[in-house]
Homo-oligomer: A and B are copies of this chain.
Amino acid sequence: MIFSTLDIVGTIAFAISGSLVAIKKKFDFFGVLIIALATSLGGGTLRDLLIGNTPVTWLTNLQTFYIVIASSFIAMFFRRRLSVFSTSLFLFDTIGIGIFTIVGIEKALTVDLDPVICILLGTITACFGGVTRDILCNEIPVIFRKEIYATACIVGGIMFFILKFLSVNSDLIYIATAATIILIRILAVKYKWAYPQIKE
């Protein structure tokens, strides 16, 4: 129950984040919809392909498709109220990765993969939609920007399995994992946490 709600909230968050980037890039109406779809569905699609879960989820569940389209229309309509653009984008993108990390880990667990691989697939699910969005919009992919990004998902994933090992209730695991990821991401941007560059 809480799981399918999470999936929907993450989908909406990424659809809005994709729409905002496309609007900023002055794409037309149809281009905004395509970027919203790519951002929301990209991570889950790559995960489903890698684990062999085909037809991929959104092909057999029209609800997801309609949620993305509706969220994108809402973002286009209220684009001026989402006034401080980069703050709105950061907010929705951060909620998206926090939630989709959990979704990715849970899907990976259904095919009995090793926890290390589950965390990797959770991170891919969370990050690949945003990477696709940025490549299509000709921005530097989020994952290669200065502040810590994918690492937040990895730390959240480790938290997930520690709590699971301690037999914590799964709703609590979800909340703690998403909160960890979102908090790390906020602190990383606020305090400019970054990895050292490898000097040649």
Contacts and interface: CB of A to CB of B under 8 A. Distances in A.
A196 B27 contact: no
Interface in A109-129: 111, 113-114, 116-117, 120-121
Nearest to A51: B55
Interface stretch (A30-38, A96-104, A163-171): A30-38
A70 to B, nearest CB: 14
Contacts of A45: 50
Nearest to A196: B29
A121 B55 CA distance: 12
A28 B59 contact: no
Contact of A54 (B49, B116, B117, B196): B49
Contact of A49 (B49, B79, B148): B49
Contacts of A2: none
Interface in A148-176: 148, 150-151
A34 B114 CA distance: 20
Contact of A50 (B26, B56, B79, B85): B56
13 contacts: A26-B200, A27-B197, A28-B195, A30-B148, A31-B144, A50-B55, A51-B55, A54-B54, A55-B111, A59-B121, A60-B113, A62-B114, A136-B144
Interface of A: 22-24, 26-32, 34, 45, 49-52, 54-56, 59-60, 62, 65, 76, 79, 85, 111, 113-114, 116-117, 120-121, 136, 141, 143-144, 146, 148, 150-151, 194-200
Given A30-B195, A32-B198, 11 more contacts: A26-B197, A28-B194, A29-B197, A30-B148, A31-B143, A34-B143, A49-B54, A54-B54, A60-B117, A62-B116, A79-B198
